[in-house]
Chains A and B, each alone.
Chain A
Amino acid sequence: MTRSSKAYIVGAYEHPTRKADDKSLAQLHAEVAKGALEDAGLTKDDVDGYFCAGDVAGWDARGAGPFSIIDYMGLSLRYLDTTESWGSAYVVHVAHAMEAIAAGKCKVALITLAGRPRAEGMATGTVAAAESLTAAETQFEHPYAPTVALLYGMCAMRHMHQYGTTSAQLAWIKVAASHHAQHNPHAMLREVVTVEDVLASPMIADPLHRLDCCVISDGGGALVVAAPEVAKSLKRPLVRVVGTGYAPKHQRGGKIDLTYSGAVWSGPAAFAEAGVTPADIKYASIYDSFTITVLMTLEDLGFCAKGDGGKFVADGNLISGVGKLPFNTDGGGLCNNHPSNRGGMTKVIEAVRQLRGEAHPKVQVPNCDLALAHGTGGALGSRHGSATLILERE
């Protein structure tokens, strides 16, 4: 293997809570940080780089931003990255951590995500987000109440119109996730569902049914990315970062095309850097805010031709041990959790578990040496960022 090994993921931790009534947001961040460091065999004092996004406690406080949580956790840093890209941020952070480590800016990078939208009773997805007074598009969108579910629904509607994709095909994505979630004791939804169950669930935003939508959960996760010499001094299996890609997509001045995502750019960049092709990937974590997110992302990453996503996901093809491309073996956002309404972190964590051979035995992919994790942050139907990561077991 001649692939790059500038940095390794040495620690990964997913918080077991799904409803954190008894915990503060800062506490959740610190708990996941501690969990990932313990997983790596490192301590807080080893951390010299920290990466966070808009979910950190104190982000909304003027003059505080990331400093509040750094103060709370008592971190001593020589590198800080606060790249905000919503749900895809943590996938981007792994890439940025690798670059910072390669540039000698830090050696042990900590990335955290946490949130408690469920404890706060947040109506996510079906109510329009708070109005921005400075975003230029707000006045041309907010009056129309574009909820997140509607923005993804419009993508699904167009995909169906253009390519003949069906609700039953989309439902197979949820079915596969539920097959995996039955083995995850922390998953919010552990019941195996059928295509018929998905189609019979209430319509939320046409053509997306309730079971086409991810869960709303509290919790979080953390990752530790380290320099090669640090990684090799630890006792954990070596998981290295071999390919990264990131690209935002927007409305292009009104030349709107809802049939693809930013993954058409982030995917090829990551595959080129890694020197591999989609056919080489043994396991894929694909952000699954909605079933349509998965279907479009798989096409855009090149796992199948554009428009063939419906056929690709059908008949259990995403179920571990059954189909060609095992995906989201923790149950994903559709069944397991979606902490802070940001799914990128848990996508990377499950990919690390698979590469270490630490996924649940019922869903562990045999000889899983190459995995992909993909995050989508923002709204597929308006503006979003797409981040792709390719990881390899050494």
Chain B
Amino acid sequence: MSRLSRRALHHATFALGAAITTLLVLTAAASFVWTPTDPLAMSIAARLEGPSAAHPFGTDQFGRDILARVIAGTHTSIAVGVIAVGIGAVVGVLIGILSGYVGGWLDEALMRLIDAIQGFPAILSALLFSAVFTPGIAISMVAIGIAFVPIFARLTRGSFLELRDREFVLAAQALGASAPRVVTCHVLPNTLPPLIIQATTSFPVAVLAEAALAYLGLGTQPPYPSWGLMLKDAQNFLSMSPWFALFPGGAIALTVLGLNLLGDGLRDLLDPKTT
């Protein structure tokens, strides 16, 4: 086992973060094939009950099982995080590379575009898009993803500019390697660690942004469960069922915590200063 992996397992933050993240991913995957009960099955007579043997997390305003909905909601949240971060990362990295590599006026123009996009926080963009297209999970993911583009673009570009003048890159170029080859084989692998860490930080931001959009009436479409939507509904029934909010809220908190711990752990492990 490499030195890095051994260190990783011993690093408490990383281990805990990785454990939680794995739990989330596995739950999300499993929820496609199995949930304790049908998250969509209604039973108005059994609405807003507290935790019980039949419903360990209680029931919602339509009598649906909250445990099943929290589990099913996992894959909504994972999807939001993955796709939003994915969009931000892919587009951002591309722009960052173009900017850093080509330089000159293209760099200036792209950086101005990036600056402009930074003026549109996720919620503002999501509001605008949701008025244009059908509001839903897809639009929210795109809006949140776009808000992530600047940060990934700058990270990549900065990394690129720094590495461009390093010896191993110059050496590769002197040996006649083509530009794309230099980028993919030499520069990108060294850019990856900060990008991965940024991804772990941006992931929970995406999940929370989706919750805010659910509150504003955008985001996930009922009746499919999402933690954000459940939290919003739970507000109306606070006096009737204080339990309602606890479980989706807890799920979000766990996700935020887990991913940030993972990011922190990775940062410590991959930071050249402490290696």
Q: Do A and B come from one complex?
A: no
